[in-house]
Structure 1
């Protein structure tokens, strides 16, 4: 938890904590680092505890004593907090898309993107041939990457036979969808990238 003192001197606290962490990670004592860097133990102790600021020359000597570059000391300073969405294997939201049949499972792998959808990544599994294959049309661009099985996929007037490792990218507003399930079970990633709105 950040203290009031941390907020007043963020760089000193960051550098102190980084230097201490690197020193301990390399199994070095304060005395060893001070001898290599040519500074007093008291000075290094004050730097590690953010009780003093120091110049670039001293920081460079400390970095050399720690066996790292000067840039390593600042690498993670002022880096924004991450806000990635992490979905564990098998934890994607199962959704029903219009026209899909039994044996066609769609797992949405990212959601809650705010007021406007930017993209939708699906993990699609097909292990039972339906009587009629779904046909899709939507705005934006779709990217498909095959993981398992073999499928014949239609986009407009063209069909493509996709094997594991194959990819297919196309405009979503042209009718598209599975034409024939050649080897099951079939699994592929489908990522739909939606176009920006007129206001953007």
Structure 2
């Protein structure tokens, strides 16, 4: 909420508790939406955040109010500030987001050798997340296949990336693109000796 929208003292006495309850009640849904949008299972997020899977499940179902320490851990793991969970949702007057080339925010990723520079607006306002990805030689998504709601679209700008989606493998050179459902088990790797760059997009469900 902007400072200019802050309620007066008289309003705070009457609506403050209700407002707090509403904000707290939205922490769980926000956490669940962010976790699933990034493709993490409860156990994967537990490992990344050092918060138990049981606690995360309770928070998402509004069965437990997290401490500030817990929110900090979850925020770091998911690449968002604590304010993401407790700020009131405000829709922009214009659904427009502009990113200067030299001001792309760093997007958190658990994968070594993958650097993401964001080029889209907040996931709270838009359905698509995209980043300029730099993938170092030898980097990969790991041994375990990834599965998540939504779709992915990858367009390689430089170098070569290899994807395995389901039972098929795809080699993407500069100019090639791959669009697939995130619900199909998939891996990616840079098997070459040079870095690769790509535009990487994720479209969440609804």
TM-score by length of 2: 0.48
* Structure holding more helix per residue: 2
- Name the one with the larger strand percent: 1
Which structure would you say has the larger Rg? 1
